[in-house]
Chain A
């Protein structure tokens, strides 16, 4: 069964939203879960968080940051095009608190991952405060969607929109007021690490969502192994969300760089500057 793209929107200079047909996934997905997407023959299998779903329309929303050849292949799809393979929902659902007040922190494309978590919390009656950030105004995504679920503080590095500065600075002020029971943070690894370091001395539990390299997404390959506390976990089946105070972020960041040279090669090929196979 292929999955038709029914809508496409550019959210920021390199982040694109695709709404695709996936009726079963639309019905059963839970916050925090992801899918493995393979565009077609020869494409990579890549993990993408389910940012939203419409059970009635039978669609799920995928938010994709174009970084390598495979993600660029996906964002180049137009409504009417099809994705050959989508498997899921994978990963454990988010550990949502049942009541009280939660702080959701999203950085860059991670804001789209925070969205279903905020949705889940909101549905449970938890008061949601979101802090989201981007380099500048055009990089801020999912603000409107998150505003429907609670208060939103926007931060930009250059101050072109909302507060000037990093999300951690705004988070520090909010946390100092003392009403937050749980922090959910998703974004670039340095951001998640900074949030975890901020909340650790305050003793505020913090959940982060990790994005290591994956192949099958079902626990079979072990490529997504991460160190959490003194244990090695597979992000695909044990995560992707973990206790941010236990995660070895340096290892995660290091392992994420494994295929950097290959990505450059693949990008060069896609741009027609590749010399491989040309003698």
Chain B
């Protein structure tokens, strides 16, 4: 099957499905649920939680799509995947064509099918969500993408006719990998520089195996390499080479080095032994495989009682990791309420099923230590919601006299990250905003000609799919820029 062979693909959308099944019949099909690894088992292992649809479930779910004339889901998708097209092809049983359609729109569907917040994107605006439940776009994307991965034929990504232009991509996370894939298809010679020893960025150091198996990332990276993308690990741009040096050696540069600097709470006791940033905790476990210590060389503290501060996806990943490392109690401490949590609903559900506890409307005041300076507790106070703040969410206000202690031996801080100045500091001409993020125009180009940027270094902490959207858009703009040189 020759999918991914060119930039423009238009699989023939057949409409005999309409003849096969009426709208009324479609409306009667209930949303299919995702088969999961049993909660009591999975809270003690790192295997993937979601097991994926069978072909039968996938075809049934696909038939729920009404193939709207004006599909809102496409607008809801940051990379504008033609969702009704691939789902209709799937519903007809033409999985190969569905895969071809999907992969032309989205380079890493096995990844986004697992980690995208569909409930606030495509599925939120699905017409069926108005009266009932939306089409399970994410599960179907994952099914089609995994089917394509399982095919031995036609997986190759093809390099376009050589343009003779050289491009550097800084960072091999979702933005960098997406941009590299697009750029190589446009025919440019691409080199990715990765600071760590393994490519994948947040996909390998941040997102745990139980949500995104590392094998998938490995395969995507291998596909890029087979198409001629060079990946150099252990190269820290800003240290090993500076941005001005890259500009001399390449015709264009795409900066996608992420938002690496962890933010701490700035409360007393934060340097006690047993306090981790989520970045450190997850990197130790995911990238360095500390859950296999002493087989793996890197250790991680296996807390008996772990408190994770924050309410986003990273906090969920950290707290569920703590449980899997053997914690008796793993608690989320979040200063707002459940409704305000930025984490994906599915992750919160999974966490609840796994026995994760939640302390909502609670803010840490101090990390308490024992005489040997090990964490023994997290002193907190209760909050109530006041007026909306700049983010539009109601601001938490302390409740006087509500202090209490959560007894714990490990605290993981997952309250966000800031821009890492390692690269930007070596190029003072590069325009940054007041938070140190790189400023770009609508094409993704910085104030320096030929230097583009995307992902978290531009947006601050955002999502995998937004980073991929940046990579895709910037690659197109870079291609135009390079062809005009």
Contacts and interface: CB of A to CB of B under 8 A. Distances in A.
A274 B294 CA distance: 9
Contacts, number: 115
Contacts of B233: 85, 87
Interface in A251-273: 251, 254-255, 257-259, 262, 265-266, 269
Interface residues of A, number: 46
Given A70-B297, A87-B235, A88-B236, A215 B273 contact: no
A90 B236 contact: yes
Contacts of B294: 69, 262, 265-266, 269, 274, 276
A36 B273 CA distance: 23
A225 B269 CA distance: 13
A153 B279 CA distance: 44
Contacts of B283: 215-216, 220-221
A216 B195 contact: yes
B297 A219 contact: no
Interface string B283-303: 110001100011111110100
Contacts of A269: 294
A73 B298 CA distance: 13
A89 B195 CA distance: 11
Given A220-B261, A266-B297, A215 B240 contact: no
A195 to B, nearest CB: 23
A38 B270 CA distance: 28
Interface stretch (A42-50, A110-118, A160-168, A198-206): A42-50
Contacts of A70: 297
A277 B294 CA distance: 10
B239 A219 contact: no
A36 B277 CA distance: 20
B208 to A, nearest CB: 16
B271 to A, nearest CB: 6
Contacts of A127: none
B264 A232 contact: yes
B297 A237 contact: no
A44 B288 contact: yes
Interface in B408-451: 420-422
Contacts of A24: 240
Nearest to B417: A220
Central interface residue in A216, A220, A223, by most chain B CB within 10 Å = A220
A125 to B, nearest CB: 27
Contacts of B279: 220-222
A38 B197 contact: yes
A102 interface: no
Contacts of B271: 225, 227, 232, 251, 255
Contacts of B264: 222, 225, 232
B280 A237 contact: no
B290 to A, nearest CB: 9
B94 interface: no
B236 to A, nearest CB: 6
A219 B288 contact: no
Contacts of A254: 273, 373
Contacts of A25: 240
Interface in A68-90: 69-70, 73, 84-90
Interface string B236-250: 100110000000000
A1 interface: yes
B273 A218 contact: no
A219 B422 contact: yes
A45 B301 CA distance: 17
A262 B236 contact: no
B288 A87 contact: no
A227 B273 CA distance: 14
B288 A45 contact: yes
B187 interface: no
A278 to B, nearest CB: 12
Interface string A236-261: 01000000000000010011011100
Contacts of B261: 219-220, 222, 234
Given A87-B197, A251-B271, 20 more contacts: A1-B232, A24-B240, A44-B297, A69-B294, A69-B297, A84-B197, A86-B234, A87-B235, A87-B236, A90-B239, A218-B422, A220-B279, A220-B283, A223-B277, A232-B270, A237-B422, A254-B373, A257-B273, A259-B299, A262-B294
26 contacts: A1-B234, A43-B297, A44-B297, A45-B288, A45-B298, A69-B294, A70-B297, A87-B234, A87-B236, A216-B195, A216-B205, A219-B260, A219-B261, A219-B421, A219-B422, A220-B205, A222-B261, A222-B279, A223-B280, A232-B271, A237-B420, A251-B271, A255-B271, A259-B299, A262-B293, A266-B294
Interface of B: 195-197, 205, 232-236, 239-240, 260-262, 264, 270-271, 273, 276-277, 279-280, 283-284, 288-289, 293-299, 301, 373, 420-422
